[in-house]
Chains A and B, each alone.
Chain A
Amino acid sequence: MSVRVGEAASALPFPEAAKKLVANSQLRRNVRHATNVIRSKRGRVVEEMPDWEQLRDSGKAIKDHTLAHLDQYLIQFEAACTKAGGQVHWARDADEANRIIVDLVKRYGSDEVIKVKTMTSDETRLNVALEAAGITPFETDLADLIVQLGDDKPSHIVVPALHRNRMEIREIFMGKMGLDSLGYLPEDLTAAARKYLRERFLRVKVGISGANYLIAETGSVVVVESEGNGRMCLTLPEVLISIVGVEKVIPRFEDLEVYLQLLPRSATGERMNPYNSIWTGVTPGDGPQAFHIVLLDNGRTKVLADPESRETLDCIRCGACLNACPVYRQTGGHAYGSVYAGPIGAILTPQLQSMEHSQTLPYASTLCGACYEVCPVKINIPEILIHLRTKVVDSGHAPLAERLAMKGAAFAMSKASRLSLAHAFARLGQWPFNDDGKLDNLPGLLAGWTEFRDLDAIPSQSFREWWSKR
């Protein structure tokens, strides 16, 4: 089995990728504007809910319960879905999922597919596998379309093209849709996308989707969205294939009551998603007449095995933690080198795909707690980041200079007399760098500090020295 999360294995370390991105003023402006808009909308619609905290508790409790009995609920889902005419496939990893889907598309004799709302397929890099098999995938979610036509990567789990502004999108559309002229108003751009997509909706025989929830008791699949393009993809093709992570199952239909309140308010600041599609297997004469669902593990059961971090799988992919994160708000999603960006990406990617590929991600946070504060299912992201940092250190992947500094500090701090001695040495050692009471050009690890900030020179008397002479 080989677990793969998009192109995370070959991604740049976070600090290096971020350095390039924070230098891009247009990108920073776009990301800040978009996250500010969503954050303030979310704030308004969360504030009006008198039972928001109870909803969060319920959302977490249902997920925790389901994960504790995941095997039973998945089997229950499989039975109910099969009974309703769906076909359930199990995929251990990305390659297996891609192989199943490519074979299905070929079996139904299509050389193109329309796709919607499936980050999971970005995780498996399904489009690459489809293209290698001579099958053309068309993304139909507006933002995914912008990303696909721009040969770009998604930068947000809910609004993947958030790093682009209208003028950039206009340029992409004109180039890739072969248009001589195009306005720059939102309605001009959506009209162009509509024309481009409508023809494909009507022509392509196979649709591929993700899912927000699987309902164990009924075998139903749920997709929520804002545009209606999802509804097109889910209802117009003859064949529908959904690829879904195993953690998306919930026990009962009535559990949706909780999530259909939590998700839209957290994700887009809407009271309800404009389109809520729920289907159960196949309905003769209505919608796709063949339905396949690929249930993907790709490292999820490994995450489930760790009691300190398994709540990562509670995530309902609302993106609220990205919008709230002061780090994400500076860099956008590309710095995280994964389809999953922001705080949730910083804990999910390294757990799915072994730590060695993503060891800088758990450190891509100030532990400010803004993510935990907004998470609709109360995932304690800062705590999990610390847990993953411990794994980086314990597996020997921390930089040598840092390890030595930490060991030295631990030794000094283990006894007050040693600490006093360390103070004295530091006070002596700082003289070459002391510029009128300011240290502004320190070497080694501290160079990262003095590159952008001064440091006051260590005072001649510590507190404890002052106290002892009092």
Chain B
Amino acid sequence: MYSPSPAAIHYLLVISLFITCYNDALFPQTGQAVVTVLERLGHTVEFRAAQTCCGQMHYNTGYRNDSYTLLRQFLQVFADAEVIVCPSSSCVAMMRDHYPKMADQLNDPALQSQVAAILPRIFEFSEFLTDKLGLTDVGAFYPHTVTLHSSCHGLRSLHLGSKPADLLKQVKGLTLLELPDADQCCGFGGTFAVKNPDVSAAMLSDKLQCILGTNAEACTGADNSCLMHIGGALSRQRTGVRTVHLAEILASTEKSS
């Protein structure tokens, strides 16, 4: 059983999980993995059942009024949470980049101060482990060759930099293979993938070439939306390469794998 070094954790937290709408419905195993890792590190995880969606899809597609409703709802659900962890870089980017602007657009001072108060307590999963908890080794074991897709929002909005890779490098048994052109978008872009299917597919096919070129067994990342896109083509082309969220790798141990 792994026990974290006392230096890594200063105090135990009650962590509120924002699972995100699509992880809830489509990738429950990712949320379960987040719970596994955080509880293994000694923290308490809570899940507030009234949560739904951050509003990213509506906001980014131009349905601003609908996203305002979801912003207010998010604030209502999580207002008194000690710390909020979310296993999706694009949802955290939505909140960090756009919630303040949305509050400004609504010209609502109460909303502005609520947003300002909650944002410092919201973390993307890998940055929570590395920045907030000061950990890179979470006691994981994953005896596979893996390449890492740096999602655009993680890269350019959250500036995750090497954080996901730092975590992967500490996983026992894991071989991390560098992905060429890692800063290139996979072509998902939310509704872009259905509104511009041909260009999206062209971008995805470049990404697949890079992934297959590494000869990795699996492609991982901090955002299931990109992984769903990449994984959908890996599956369609019967490549035999799978996608797996970073949290699931970190949840895996010698006992569980």
Contacts and interface: CB of A to CB of B under 8 A. Distances in A.
Contacts of B52: 412-416, 419
Nearest to B23: A463
A335 B21 CA distance: 34
Contacts of A366: 152, 185, 187-190, 192, 200, 203
B228 interface: yes
A416 B49 contact: yes
A455 interface: yes
A406 B190 CA distance: 13
Contacts of A367: 60, 152, 189-190, 192
Contact of B235 (A373, A413, A446, A454): A454
How extensive is the interface on chain A, given as a class?
Answer: 35 or more
Interface stretch (A202-210, A267-275, A384-392): A384-392
A252 interface: no
Most buried by B among A14, A362, A462, A465: A462
Interface stretch (B7-15, B24-32, B113-121, B171-179): B24-32
A181 interface: no
A395 to B, nearest CB: 10
B64 A449 contact: no
Nearest to B157: A369
B51 interface: yes
B25 A370 contact: no
Contact of B194 (A365, A388, A448, A456): A448
Interface stretch (A50-58, A167-175, A325-333): A325-333
Contacts of B183: 370
A414 B69 contact: yes
Q: Majority SS of interface residues in chain A?
A: helix
A15 B25 contact: no
A29 to B, nearest CB: 12
B236 A440 contact: yes
Contact of A406 (B27, B66, B69, B235): B66
Given A366-B188, A468-B49, A463 B28 contact: yes
A372 B21 CA distance: 28
Given A413-B21, A414-B73, A463-B32, A452 B201 contact: yes
Contacts of B155: 369
A177 interface: no
B204 A453 contact: yes
Interface string A28-70: 1000000000000000000000000000000000000000000
18 contacts: A15-B196, A330-B206, A335-B199, A366-B203, A367-B190, A389-B61, A389-B62, A393-B64, A407-B66, A409-B57, A423-B24, A445-B194, A453-B229, A454-B233, A456-B235, A464-B19, A464-B47, A466-B28
Q: Which 3 A-B pairs have the closest CB atoms?
A: A366-B189, A453-B232, A389-B62
